[in-house]
Structure 1
Amino acid sequence: MPADRLSRTAPAPKTGIVHLGLGAFFRAHGAIYTEEAVAHSGGDWGIIGVSLQSPTMHDALTPQGGTYTALELAPEGAKPRHVQIVTEVLVAQDNPLAVLEKMADPAIRIVSLTVTEKGYCHAPATGALNLAHPDIQHDLGNPLPRSAPGFLVRALELRRQRGLAPFTVLSCDNLPENGRVVRGVVLALAQQIDPALADWIAQQGRFPATMVDRIVPATKPEDLATVATLTGTHDAAPVLHEPFRQWVIEDDFVSGARPDWASAGAQMVRDVTPFEHMKLRMLNGTHSALAYLGYLAGHETIADTVADPVFAGFVRRLWQDEIIPALTPPPGVSLADYATALFGRYANPAIRHRTWQIAMDGSQKLPQRILGTLAEAQATGRACPGLMLAVAAWMRYVGGIDETGAPIDVRDPLADRLRALSDGADTPEGKVQALLSVSEIFPPALAVPLEAPLTSAYLALLDKGARAATHEVFA
C-alpha cells in the first residue's frame, strides 16, 4: 500500500525570512537552525523559499505544505526529522513580481541566499560584478529581474520607495567574505540603476558574513524509498546530511532583527574571517582536491576516495604541509584537531557524497578554495605540490575525457569555453597555458608563477594516472 504524502502537522509560522535558492544545503542547515531557534525563543521567522529558475522544488514541496524530511546519516544509522519552518515556495522565473512583493513586505526582515558561487554573477578572482553577464544585462533595463543580485536590488528599491527599512541580506554560500561579496555586487548593480538607491543601501543596509558547514549529498531516487520506509510517509523532497553542523554569523543586522540562532548552536561573532578561511581551505579545498583526483582515479564518493590509503595519506599531508601553515586559527581552535575531525567526516560510510557532484562549478570554486592558499605560498616561497596536483587534476577534468577515454559530464558555467581552450592546444604544456589564460579564475600575477609547477603536475597525471601521481607527490 503506498505511503501517505507528508503533510504539515503544526500551524505554519508567520514569516520573517525570504530565502533565495531553496536547495538541499539550506534546507539541511539554515532552515533547521531557524526552526530550532523559533522553538527555543519564539519569533515570527517562518521562511518563504524562492527557486530562481526551476519549478522542481515548488512542485515537490507545495503539496506537502512546504514541509520535508531531513535525514541525518550517521555511521550507526539514519535518523529522520520533520522540518516545518518553510511556509511557501515561489518560482521566480514564473512570477518575479510576486517574489519582489514578498521581499518588499514589511514583515520580511532578512533575505538569505544559497545560490552557489555562480549565482552572484561576479568574477570569482576579484569579486567584482560581471556587468556583461546576460542576466545582469537583462536586470539593468528590466524591473522584473532574473538574477539574485537583481532581485535583491529591485526589492530594496521597492522598500525605499515605500518608506520601509531595508532587509538584511544574509549570504549562506561558501564564499570568502560572502557578506562583502554580496554587498559589492548589490551596490554595483544599484549604482548602475540609481546612484541614490546605492547610497541608501550602503548607508542603511546590512550584509553580515557567515561561515556554513555541513556535508549534504545530493538526494537520489532511492533515498525517497528509504525515507518512506523510515517514516511511513512519502516525501518528494527529503534532504540527507551528516550529523555535524556549524554556522558562524557576523552579528550585524538591520535594527538587530534576527532569530535567536545562538540558542540553536550558531556562533554569533564580530569577525567571521578566521572561521571561513579555516573551513574554505581545510574542508572545501581538500574536498575539491579529492573530488578531481578521486574522480579521475575512478572513485565515486569522498568516502570511497579516503578509504584508499593513497588518498588518505595525501589529504593528511595537504592539511599538515600546505594548508595549515597558511592559516591563522580562530580563537580556541586547534587546526590539527579540526583536520582530524574532517577526516572522520569524510570517511563516514553513510554519506555518499559523489566526487562528480563536488567537482561541479570548479571555475567558480577554485579561487576561494585553493588558489588563495597557492597565492600566499607563492608570496612566501613555500612549495605546494599537492595543491598544484589538485589544480592540474581540475585542468584534466575540464578537458572532458577521463583516464579510460570516457567522456566526463562537466557541469560548469565556463564548461564550453574551458573545453574549447583545452581541445585547441596540441600539447599538454599548451593546455595548461590556455587554461591559465582564463583571468576570471587565474589572476595574471598568479598565473605566471603557477605555469611551470602546474605543467609538471599535469604531465605527471598524463604519464602515471591520478592515483600513482597522488602516491608520488609527497614521496
Structure 2
Amino acid sequence: MRRLSLATLPMVPDSVRPRVDPRAIGVGIVHLGLGAFHRAHQADFTEEAMARAGGAWGICGVSPRSGRVIEQLAPQDGLYTLLTRGSAGPRARVLAPIRQWLVGAHDPEAVTARIADPAIRLVTLTVTEKGYRHDPATGRLRREDPEIRADAAGRPPRTVVGLLVRGLERRMRDSGAPVTVLCCDNLPQNGVTLARVVGDFLSLLTGGDAVAEWLATAVRFPSSMVDRITPATTAADREEAARLLGLRDEGVVVTEPFRQWVIEESFAAGRPAWEQAGALLVTDVRPYELAKLRMLNGAHSLLGYLGALAGLETIAETVAVEPFAIAAQRLMVDDAVPTLVGPAGLDLAAYAADILARFANPALDYRTTQVASDGSQKLPQRLLGTIRDRRTAGAMPRWAVLGVAAWMRWVWSPVTDAGEPRQLDDPLADEMTELLRDVNDPVQVVDRLLHLRAVFGDDLADDVELRERLTDDLTALTIDGAKATVRRAVSLE
C-alpha cells in the first residue's frame, strides 16, 4: 500500500483531506513537544482556525529529544491522520498544519534560530510535566539538575527550558520582535509557572538580567487549559486508518470526539482565530484549570493506579468495575467540587458525569500504565491541591487520599495484585526506589514518601490524621488488593 504524502494526497477522499492547502501555509508557530496530544489538540484547532479565518499559522514542530515522530512525519510531508473514535464509529481526517519539523537533540542551533525568527509569533509547548525540570511542589526550576546546569553553562541546549531560553535570548539580540509563549501542559497556572521557570534559568546566565528585562516588555506567557483524551497509537489503529484512507500512515494519532481549549487572552504578536474553531478565550483560566486538574485528571490518576494494580489494561475496563467508577465519581463530587468555584455556566456534577462517560469509551485503548506514569510530577496538581484545601477546611478527602495511597503502593511494590511485575516510569524512580529499599512496613513507606519534598512540600508530613488515613489505605491495598479495598470502601460510605 502506498504511503500518505503530498504526492498521494489526491487519492484520499475529499471529505477526509486537510481543511487547508498544505502548500499554501506559512509558518508562524514553533511548537516544542511534537507528541500525539499536540497533533490531536492544538494542531487540529490551528488547522481549523486557518481554514475559517486564514493567517500564516503553520507549525514548525520540534521533538526535543527523539527523532521517532519526525521519522513518521517527514516522509509524509508532515501529513498525518487524526483517527477519532466515538459512539458513531471511527472517523478519519488528514491534517496538514505541521509544515516544518526539527529534532532538538540533533540540531539545537536550528531550533533556537527558528524561535528567534521574527516570522514566528507564537511558541507553544506540550512536553508533559516532567519536561520543565521543575519541582512540582514549589513550581520552581530544579537549578541543581545537571542537565539544566550544563545548558546554563553554555553547551548547545538539550533541555526544553534551555532551548526556549536560548531561542528567546537570540531573538532579543537579533530583532527584539515580540512573541507569545503559550504553555499547554497540565501545570497549575501553567503560563505563570513557565514564566517562573524561564526566570529561574535566566538567573543562572551571565547577562540573564537583560534578557529578563526584555521579556517583561516583549513576551507574554498566557495560561491555558487543554482537554482531549489521546491514548497511544497501536498497530490496529494504523490498520484502521489505512482502511479508511486507502493509504499507509505511520503518523496516525487516535483521540475522542470531545475537545476543549480555554486560553487566557494575552498575546504579544497576534494569534490564530482559535475561537472560530471552538476555543474559549477568557481573562482568567484558573476556574477551568482547577476543575479539570482536580476532577478529570485527579479521577484519571485514581483509576490509573487502581486499574494498574488490579491488572486491568485500560481506563475503560477500570471504569467498568463498579466500585472503581463509584470511587472516581466520589473523588470528583465529594472531594474536588467543594474546593472549586466553577466557571460560570458549568454544572460541576454534570461535568463529573460527562468525564466518567468519556473514560468509559471502549473505543479508546487508553492504558492504565500510561496514566500511572510520572506520578511524582502529576500528584501535586491532581490530588494534593484537593487534599490541602479539604484539610484546611477540616475535612478528610477520602477518595483523593486513596488515590495517593494507590500511587504509594505502585511506587513501593514491584508487582501488581496478581504478582505481575510493574514498571515504574517516573523521573524520580531511582530516588524513590532507593528511598524505599528494604522497607516492608506501610507505616515507613508513608513516612518516607511524605518527606519527599519535591512531591509533598513541607506541610503534609506533619498532618497526623492524613498519615494515619494513608497508612490504613496503603495497608489495605497491600494485603487485600485494589478491588477488595475499594469495594469495601464504597460499601462503607
TM-score (norm 1): 0.97
Question: Residue 431 of structure 1 corresponds to which residue in structure 2?
Answer: 445
Question: Which stretch of structure 1 is more off in the superposition, 83-92 or 397-406?
Answer: 397-406
Give yes or no for the alignment of 1:446 onto 2:460: yes
* Equivalence map 1:223-242=2 (5 Å): 223-242=237-256
Name the aligned partner's letter for residue 155 of structure 1: G
Name the aligned partner's letter for residue 235 of structure 2: P
Other structure's SS at 1:49 match: strand
Shift of 1:48: 0.4
Shift of 1:298: 1.8
CA–CA distance in structure 2, aligned partners of residues 296 and 7 of structure 1? 45
Give yes or no for the alignment of 1:276 onto 2:289: yes
Q: What do the CA deviations read for 1:106-150 (whole angstroms, capped 9, x no partner)? A: 100000000000111100001001101122111111152111111
User: Which residue, 300, 317, 325 being the options, matches 2:313?
Assistant: 300
CA–CA distance in structure 2, aligned partners of residues 407 and 134 of structure 1? 31
Other structure's SS at 2:403 match: helix
Question: Residue 375 of structure 1 corresponds to which residue in structure 2?
Answer: 388
Question: Residue 3 of structure 2 corresponds to which residue in structure 1?
Answer: 4
Other structure's SS at 1:18 match: strand
Name the aligned partner's letter for residue 406 of structure 1: E
Other structure's SS at 1:258 match: coil
Give yes or no for the alignment of 1:213 onto 2:227: yes
Give the count of matched residue pairs: 473
Question: Residue 204 of structure 1 corresponds to which residue in structure 2?
Answer: 218
* Equivalence map 1:77-88=2 (5 Å): 77-88=89-100
Name the aligned partner's letter for residue 377 of structure 2: Q
User: Which residue, 406, 412, 420 being the options, matches 2:420?
Assistant: 406
Q: What do the CA deviations read for 1:41-68 (whole angstroms, capped 9, x no partner)? A: 0000000000001010111100100110
Q: What do the CA deviations read for 1:314-360 (whole angstroms, capped 9, x no partner)? A: 22222221111111100111101111111110111111111100111
CA–CA distance in structure 2, aligned partners of residues 398 and 221 of structure 1? 30
Question: Residue 252 of structure 1 corresponds to which residue in structure 2?
Answer: 266
Report the aligned-residue RMSD.
1.2
Give yes or no for the alignment of 1:318 onto 2:331: yes
User: Which residue, 302, 321, 328 being the options, matches 1:289?
Assistant: 302
Name the aligned partner's letter for residue 109 of structure 1: R
User: Which residue, 151, 167, 171 being the options, matches 1:159?
Assistant: 171
Shift of 1:81: 0.4
Name the aligned partner's letter for residue 204 of structure 2: Q
Name the aligned partner's letter for residue 50 of structure 2: V
Shift of 1:12: 4.7
Other structure's SS at 2:102 match: strand
Other structure's SS at 1:80 match: strand
Question: Residue 37 of structure 2 corresponds to which residue in structure 1?
Answer: 25
Question: Which stretch of structure 1 is more off in the superposition, 376-385 or 47-56?
Answer: 376-385
Other structure's SS at 2:454 match: coil
Question: Which stretch of structure 1 is more off in the superposition, 16-25 or 226-235?
Answer: 226-235
CA–CA distance in structure 1, aligned partners of residues 160 and 188 of structure 2? 18
CA–CA distance in structure 2, aligned partners of residues 319 and 19 of structure 1? 32
Give yes or no for the alignment of 1:265 onto 2:281: no
CA–CA distance in structure 1, aligned partners of residues 172 and 46 of structure 2? 27
Other structure's SS at 2:25 match: coil
User: Which residue, 463, 473, 482 being the options, matches 1:466?
Assistant: 482
Structure 1 gaps of 5+ residues are none
CA–CA distance in structure 2, aligned partners of residues 308 and 6 of structure 1? 43
Name the aligned partner's letter for residue 453 of structure 1: R
CA–CA distance in structure 2, aligned partners of residues 86 and 429 of structure 1? 51
CA–CA distance in structure 2, aligned partners of residues 141 and 299 of structure 1? 46
Shift of 1:367: 0.2
Name the aligned partner's letter for residue 397 of structure 2: C
Name the aligned partner's letter for residue 455 of structure 1: T
Question: Residue 198 of structure 2 corresponds to which residue in structure 1?
Answer: 186
Name the aligned partner's letter for residue 276 of structure 1: E
Contact 1:176 1:368 in 2 (8 A): yes
* Equivalence map 1:323-338=2 (5 Å): 323-338=336-351
Shift of 1:222: 2.3
How high is the sequence identity, in percent, across the aligned residues? Answer: 47
* Equivalence map 1:95-114=2 (5 Å): 95-114=107-126
Contact 1:191 1:197 in 2 (8 A): no
CA–CA distance in structure 1, aligned partners of residues 418 and 346 of structure 2? 43
CA–CA distance in structure 2, aligned partners of residues 168 and 130 of structure 1? 24
Contact 1:153 1:186 in 2 (8 A): yes
Other structure's SS at 1:63 match: helix
User: Which residue, 392, 400, 419 being the options, matches 2:405?
Assistant: 392
CA–CA distance in structure 2, aligned partners of residues 166 and 453 of structure 1? 51
Shift of 1:188: 1.3
Shift of 1:465: 1.1
Q: What do the CA deviations read for 1:422-468 (whole angstroms, capped 9, x no partner)? A: 23323121111111121000112112213221111101112221011
Shift of 1:397: 0.6
Q: Which runs of 4+ in 1 moved over 3 A?
A: 3-10
* Equivalence map 1:32-111=2 (5 Å): 32-111=44-123
Name the aligned partner's letter for residue 227 of structure 1: A
Question: Which stretch of structure 1 is more off in the superposition, 283-292 or 460-469?
Answer: 460-469
CA–CA distance in structure 2, aligned partners of residues 138 and 284 of structure 1? 33
Contact 1:12 1:84 in 2 (8 A): no
CA–CA distance in structure 2, aligned partners of residues 457 and 203 of structure 1? 50
Question: Which stretch of structure 1 is more off in the superposition, 318-327 or 370-379?
Answer: 318-327
Structure 2 gaps of 5+ residues are 10-20
CA–CA distance in structure 1, aligned partners of residues 145 and 235 of structure 2? 34
CA–CA distance in structure 2, aligned partners of residues 4 and 357 of structure 1? 29
Question: Residue 160 of structure 2 corresponds to which residue in structure 1?
Answer: 148
Name the aligned partner's letter for residue 7 of structure 1: L
Contact 1:248 1:272 in 2 (8 A): yes
